[in-house]
Amino acid sequence: MTTMAMLSTRAEQARRYRDNGWWRDETFLDDLAGWVRVHPDAPAFINGRSRGGVEVLSYQEFDQHVRRLARGLYDLGVRTGDVVALQLPDWWETAALLLACMRVGAIAQPMVPELRAREIERTLFRTSARVCIVVEDWAGFDHSQALAEMAPRLPQLRHRVVYGDAASTGALDFHECLLGKGGKTETPDLSPLPVLDPDRPCLVLFTSGSTGEAKGVLHSCNTIYAGTSGFTAATTASVPGDDRAAGTLRMTHIAGPLWMLFGTLLSGGAGVFQDAFDPDQLLDLMEQAGATRLLATPPKMFQLIEAQRRRARPLASLHTIGAGATTIPPELVPAVQETFGVPLRAVWGMTEVVVGTIVGADDPPGWSAHSDGRALPGLELRIVTPDGDEGTGSLQVRGAALCLGTVTGDGRIAPATDSADGWFDTGDLARPDGRGGIRIVGRVADRIYDKGASVMIPVRDVEEELLLNPAVKDVGIIACPDGDLEDVCAVVVPAGEPPTLDDLRGFLRERGMTESYYPTRLEFAEALPRDPLGKIRKYQLREQFAG
């Protein structure tokens, strides 16, 4: 059993969470089994696929696939606490693998398809992943070949599994070794598999913290349940089984599974999603499915609004629309109401706490332009200001949805918080909204969110790579507003002839860095302002170059 698998919540906390109904002894696998008994032929997923139309999977079919995948992983030698990494598009297979890892007692490590070789290798090394499952190629990138090239540098990696042409790189075939089992279709024998402990880690997701340093966030079934159950109850008004949750968020991040997998397993509904965002196709899927709720990032929501205005679809079942992952532009709130006839409900969350707040159905019309909502059940919030008075300050949280711990940049395992009273500093700045909720007003330090790519920029990583460029003496990465978006601005102290922006982007491309992390703006300085500890005073850089 790995060190990660040994993480757990203190017994007295776990007991209190169970007493309050925020944790339970059951798991999402029990939810799946229950709905298979109730309505086996009801849809579990409606999955738009850019390479093959739309696939609809029933609860019975999904359950069988989860079972086959779990047995396949077990036959590959995966045991309790082993890490299984997966980098697949937003397919139902991705959702099935997350549950299959739970069934075999493994820790799933989903990675967004946009990650490239450098980041993939670093995360696999940090978690000591035993199995890595990738799509052959996606969006012009050969994932199979990249994995084959890095495999000799990953001594813990036992198996490479490829969805597609596996033979060309000597990998195992996904369908043959995991799903198909040589063409057999009978229900596999799962009796040798262990009983899942809902309090132990089952998921590790890499994200960027307030410093921009990548870290892996470890969740258990119960921390995910605590963050999902209240959110699902607050956004689901339909009768059990009629829920249809559509979303634009990735199945390989935290928000996608909680909305379209774990949430629908609690409601008995279906997840409606695509592997490549197309606003017209998603709206068509929502119409066909009778979508009841929608969750999207603000940039994607604007595109859905434009598509709906071009060609209106009847979406009479739609009763909840949420938006989160970044600041909601005020003009989005009335635009959603005018276009869909449903009020927009702001949502705030982060990988470490799943989802934290939501604007209530009882809040005033348009309140999402002023608030990110109140805390969901099982989570406490506080705003810590320097003088102790009410006002803008650091947002801290604690409760049943807080992750168990993190995998740091050097591979060490750390508890979620060192605070004796359990408070976790989110790295966000917030202020009270006047109705018992919060309003996020900014990000601490140098956190940068790329709205277009829906990823957090690992600022420290980008800086460290650019410092390897002979033309760069010193560099600081900051966010500079550009309308509704943010430029990833590199402020460079040249080491001789100043480089161009294309030079820096080309250098990062050669280093294998993910393209959405590249700077989009370049500025020069004679020296970077630093404090006595040597840290860059980035607020001074932002003041200088924000215009």
Residues contacting residue 1 through CB under 8 Å, at least 6 positions apart: 80, 81
Amino acid (1-letter code) at residue 168:
S
| DSSP string over 255-312 | HHHIIIIIHHHHHT-EEEEESS--HHHHHHHHHHHT--EEEE-HHHHHHHHHHHHHS-
Residues contacting residue 48 through CB under 8 Å, at least 6 positions apart: 54, 273, 274, 275, 278, 281, 282, 285
State the Cα–Cα distance between residues 409 and 214, nearest whole angstrom.
6
Residue spans of the domains in the chain: they are: 8-25+220-445, 458-545
Pairing of strands 472-482, 485-494: antiparallel
* Cβ–Cβ < 8 Å for 8, 53: no
Rg, the chain, Cα only = 23
State the Cα–Cα distance between residues 62 and 501, nearest whole angstrom.
47
Distances (CA, A) of 446 to 13, 313, 442, 535: 33, 41, 11, 11
Does the domain at 458-545 match CATH 3.30.300.30? Answer given as yes
Amino acid (1-letter code) at residue 347:
V
State the Cα–Cα distance between residues 286 and 280, nearest whole angstrom.
10
For residue 10, what pLDDT is reported? 77
State the Cα–Cα distance between residues 349 and 324, nearest whole angstrom.
8
State the Cα–Cα distance between residues 486 and 448, nearest whole angstrom.
8
DSSP reduced 3-state for 432: strand
State the Cα–Cα distance between residues 455 and 440, nearest whole angstrom.
18
Query: Which token pair is 505?
Result: 């982007």
Q: Could you name the CATH architecture of 8-25+220-445?
A: 3-Layer(aba) Sandwich (3.40)
Model confidence over 195-223: pLDDT tens digits?
A: 889 999 999 998 754 345 678 999 999 99
Return phi, psi of residue 428, to 5°: -100, 155
- Mark 143-159 as b/e (b = at least 16 C-beta within 10 Å): bbbbbbebbeebeebeb
For residue 395, what pLDDT is reported? 93
Amino acid (1-letter code) at residue 425:
D
| Three-state secondary structure of 185-222 | CCCCCCCCCCCCCCCCEEEEEEEECCCCCEEEEEEEHH
Distances (CA, A) of 233 to 45, 290, 352: 20, 19, 21
* Cβ–Cβ < 8 Å for 540, 529: yes
Model confidence over 473-491: pLDDT tens digits?
A: 889 888 887 766 678 899 9
For residue 452, what pLDDT is reported? 56
- Mark 118-136 as b/e (b = at least 16 C-beta within 10 Å): bbbbbbbbbbbbbbbbbbb
Q: Which of 254, 159, 218, 224 is nearest to 5 (CA)?
A: 218
Which strand (E) or helix (H) includes residue 477?
strand 472-482
- The β-bridge partners of 270 are 244
Q: Which of 518, 384, 380, 359 is nearest to 450 (CA)?
A: 518
Q: How many other CB atoms are there within 10 angstroms of residue 37's CB atom?
A: 9
Which residues of the chain are under the pLDDT cut of 50? 182-183, 209-211, 446, 532-533
State the Cα–Cα distance between residues 393 and 404, nearest whole angstrom.
25
Query: Which token pair is 546?
Result: 């924000």
User: In this structure, which long-range contacts are made by residues 461-466, counting pairs with CB atoms below 8 Å and at least 24 apart in sequence?
Assistant: 461/119, 461/212, 461/213, 461/214, 461/513, 461/517, 462/212, 462/488, 462/490, 462/508, 462/513, 462/517, 462/518, 462/519, 465/507, 465/508, 465/511, 465/513, 466/490, 466/492, 466/504, 466/507, 466/508
For residue 209, what pLDDT is reported? 42
DSSP reduced 3-state for 352: helix
**Sign of torsion over alpha carbons 426, 428, 432, 435:** negative
Instruction: Tell me, yes or no, if the two domains 8-25+220-445 and 458-545 fold the same way.
Output: no
| DSSP string over 385-424 | -TTSSSSSEEEEEEETTS-SEEE-TTS-EEES---TT--E
* Cβ–Cβ < 8 Å for 315, 287: yes
